[in-house]
Amino acid sequence: MHQALQGSFPPSCSLSTVQVLSFSHAMMDLSVIIPVYNEQQCFPALFQLLESQQGIRLQLIFSDGGSTDASFRLLEDYQQASHHQVILVAGLPGRGRQLNGGAAQATANILLFLHADSSWQGRDFLANAVADFFRQRQRQGGLVAGHFPLRFDCSARVYRYLAAKAKLNCSGTVFGDQGMLLMRTDWCQLGGFDEQLPVLEDVALAEKVWQRGTWLLLPGELETSHRRYRQDGVLRRLVDNALLLLVHGAGERSLLPPFLAGYVSPGDTAGLRAGWGEFFRRLHRLPLLRYLDFWYGCASTLVRYVWLIPYALGWLIGGEVVAGFLLSLYRPRLEKWIQSRPFALTLSLLCWLFFYLFCLFRSDCGNGQLAPLMTPEDQRRRS
């Protein structure tokens, strides 16, 4: 059975809809939702892997966000050739919108959100993942979701560090490139992906799972591409990711767009430079209470990620074993104190000071001057 659908299909998660899907899922074990935007280079390997899967009935849903290359044509050819049920969804760009649009067409009770550049080993990879998910879910109880250990297609030390961090299964380590497996009913309960977020929709969903339930580590490994790190440079990509997580965690979404040009388009250093100036201008236009709340939100977000300092330090010193040892020392001795309110308030002040010192040394933030960033109108609004 092959279908082609047009338009955006937001999730409908009423109880009646979920019940109907539970009894009419066309004998599918797993619905795999793959967002697509100019992924033609990834498809040959992905199609081969999907066709090799055994022991599980798959529904493959490709949700295209307006690709300008040959992606959709290749998908139409694959739809006709595949022995799986293949559904194509064409809609507006936006990762959250694409994922929700694809999931709205799913008929299996289990959903797997997967990136197009993912790879894995084994013909029973997906079957084993679903079987293990059910076993762990029965033992765990409540709302659970699963993600895979991660491996990059490059063996450099920094990529081995990122992969090891993903296996820790801690808050702040689960992202979309690890795959996200969960029951459709739980996905509906969580409200699906946030379509208002231009990026980090996977982070928002991961946080909701941590708040209401837990994440499970699935068997096997997903291999993902290091192309963004290669194109942008490892340090810049790590800094970009950290800044986006920080601003997102602070809760001030109006400050996210300035960074998107450099994040969405790898190698766009001009977009990132322009983004810094726009970020500081938007920051200074915030009302006073929102301005102060932003800095406290930054500190609260940093507190959640402080554990990465001893872990990264351990990796620099002696690899995964030393990193795990330092982390085991940090948690019982320092974690409770660091997560206290006085520490967060102190860190807020330090964040504020660091940002403005950083701004003074950047030529793309008002030519190194703070004054041009605050117009008289901005100052009146602040007061």
Q: What are phi and psi of 268, to 5 degrees?
A: -85, 75
pLDDT of residue 369: 43
- Cβ-proximal residues to 196 (8 Å cutoff; 6+ apart), any chain: 96, 253
Here the tokens at position 23 are 């009894």
pLDDT of residue 46: 96
pLDDT of residue 25: 38
Residues in the chain where the model's pLDDT stays below 70: 1-27, 259-275, 361-383
pLDDT of residue 365: 56
218: which DSSP letter?
A: P
Here the tokens at position 285 are 């236009």
pLDDT of residue 7: 45
The DSSP secondary structure of 298-326, one letter per residue, reads HHHHHHHHTTHHHHHHHHHHH-HHHHHHH
Burial class (CB in 10 A: 0-12, 13-18, 19+), 202: buried
pLDDT of residue 380: 54
pLDDT of residue 362: 57
pLDDT of residue 8: 44
Ordered by where they begin, the domains of the chain are 2-225 (3.90.550.10), 229-382 (no CATH)
pLDDT of residue 274: 58
Question: What's the rounded Cα separation, in Å, for the pair 111 and 130?
Answer: 10
pLDDT of residue 4: 52
Q: Helices 234-250 and 201-212 meet at what angle, rounded to 10?
A: 50
Here the tokens at position 83 are 């022995």
Euclidean distance between the first and final Cα of the chain, in Å?
62
Collapse the DSSP code of 229 into the 3-class scheme (helix H, G, I; strand E, B; otherwise coil) and give the result: helix
pTM here? Answer: 0.83
pLDDT of residue 330: 80
The H-assigned helical ranges of the chain are: 15-23, 43-52, 71-81, 95-103, 125-140, 157-166, 184-190, 201-212, 227-232, 234-250, 260-264, 269-284, 288-305, 308-318, 320-333, 335-338, 341-360, 376-382
Q: For residue 187, how many other CB atoms are within 10 A of its CB?
A: 27
Which residue, among 149, 140, 260, has the nearest Cα to 198 in the 3D structure?
A: 260
pLDDT of residue 260: 66
